[in-house]
Structure 1
Amino acid sequence: MTYFKSTCTAFALSVALAAPAKATLVDITNCGATAVACTITTTPPNPIAKDPNDGVLLAWDEVQNFTLTADLRVDRVFDTSASFITTAPGGDYYIKAGTVVSSHYIQWDPAPGGQAVTAKITLDSQVFAFMTSDQNMFDSDAQLGLPGLSYNNFTARGLESNDTTVFDGNSVDIRWQATSPGDWTRLITAYSPAAEVPVPASLPLLAGALGLAGFVGRRRRK
């Protein structure tokens, strides 16, 4: 009976761990201009390559539902009057410490002969801010970057001043134009309910079966 209980427990844990967390990036639509494709991935390139020259707008989720332990410096915000937004030197902004944020990385490098991409990026929570400068990207890699991913800190990451990012609740409309090495940005959103790992529907039933197995085992030993 001990062996049976141990096996069932291990199986229950494997079921729980196998339940995938839902991505907070929901969709990329209106993919246009010179883009070959607009894609959400769970397996980003590692290390991130300078000048992929593939014409793909590529996005992935990074650290989710992280409570900031210090003010986070960003370049563009959805609402300068929001209670958790303050101004920073040089025209930047801070998202205040104590705010719960989720992070997402987006890269764009046109294929030969291309330059611009247009798209609508939709997430499952309010879009807070963009990081568009080298320094703000570098400073946040360790804290908000995807664990185990090499960001290959080459220069000229970020966006150009004429790259547009139009905030609209839980989505953002973009129009970017890039040359070497491409456009790279970190998109910051609010707490993501979809990032929580769901409990499989079968797990409560399995827990009940384990409890019954333990009860039967005790009765037999008596």
Structure 2
Amino acid sequence: MRKYLMAAVAAGSFAIAGSANAAVVFGELTGGNALSNGGVFEQLNPAPGFSVGNNNQQSNNLFAFDEVQSVTLTAAVGGLTAGTVVNSHYVFFDPRRTRRAIGYVDFDSEVLAVLTTQADLTDTDMLLGNANVNYLSPNLRGLESSDIATFAGNRLDLNFRASSPGDFVRVLTVATAVPEPASWAMMIGGFGLVGGAMRRRRKATTKVSYA
């Protein structure tokens, strides 16, 4: 009977493993002449063929979109070691003429690292990029000395001054395992097996005595 109990518990445990959907939750421009010239935060859901990286948007808006989810880093990057599991997101500001954008972007899990150099962005495009997006990599892609990107908890705070080709960062957040709907059913079924096995065991060991 102990074997059946262990098998049922194991089934429930394996059912818990599942991928969380990484998501940009909210963002806002709070200052800078991008805001005073009509800029807003815009969350994108790129369609196939979307290009980013070299004066493609020419907008006062601050943009963000989600990339891959629950991916294991194959090499150390951004202060994270190889083997770290992350969700990835892309945040950028690509105005027509020189503008400053001050604001923030919130994510659904804790920020682990922000990739700000052309080398780090280019090296991780294939592993972490959105499959629908064509990532261009001109000189000065990433951030420059006048740009600031800091993070704490689930929030990225930014102060970008950009013209051509724009400012771009890749944000890596915690990948959290959550049960999928089908996995919940498997897990509940596993607990049911445990309960049934325990009842049968009690019944089998019950003794009846007569006075």
CA distance in 2 between counterparts of 1:109 and 1:197 reads 38
Aligned 1:174-193 pairs, distance under 5 A: 174-192=158-176
Q: Is this contact kept in 1: 2:53–2:141, CA < 8 A?
A: no
Q: CA deviation at 1:162?
A: 2.3
1:156 aligns to 2:159 (yes or no): no
- Which residue pairs with 2:69 in the alignment? 64
Aligned 1:78-93 pairs, distance under 5 A: none
- Which residue pairs with 1:39 in the alignment? 42
Q: Is this contact kept in 1: 2:87–2:174, CA < 8 A?
A: yes
- Which residue pairs with 2:102 in the alignment? 118
Q: Is this contact kept in 1: 2:117–2:141, CA < 8 A?
A: yes
CA distance in 1 between counterparts of 2:104 and 2:181 reads 31
Residue in structure 2 matching 1:103, options 88, 106, 110: 88
Q: Which residues of structure 1 form unaligned runs of 5+?
A: 1-20, 75-93, 205-222
Q: Which residues of structure 2 form unaligned runs of 5+?
A: 1-19, 186-211
TM-score by length of 2: 0.67
- Which residue pairs with 2:58 in the alignment? 53
- Which residue pairs with 1:24 in the alignment? 23
In the TM superposition, what whole-angstrom CA distance separates every residue of 1:82-110 from its partner, at most 9, and x where no partner exists? xxxxxxxxxxxx31112111111111022
Q: In the superposition, relative to structure 1, how do residues 146 and 153 fare at CA in structure 2: closer, same or farther (>3 Å)?
A: same
Q: Is this contact kept in 2: 1:64–1:192, CA < 8 A?
A: no
- Which residue pairs with 1:87 in the alignment? none
Q: CA deviation at 1:22?
A: 4.9
Q: CA deviation at 1:167?
A: 1.6
In the TM superposition, what whole-angstrom CA distance separates every residue of 1:40-93 from its partner, at most 9, and x where no partner exists? 11126712252132111110011111122322x22xxxxxxxxxxxxxxxxxxx
Q: Percent identity?
A: 32
Rg larger in structure:
2
CA distance in 2 between counterparts of 1:40 and 1:198 reads 25
In the TM superposition, what whole-angstrom CA distance separates every residue of 1:7-59 from its partner, at most 9, and x where no partner exists? xxxxxxxxxxxxxx855111103543213111111126712252132111110
Residue in structure 1 matching 2:131, options 112, 128, 147: 147
Letter of the structure 2 residue corresponding to residue 105 of structure 1: Y
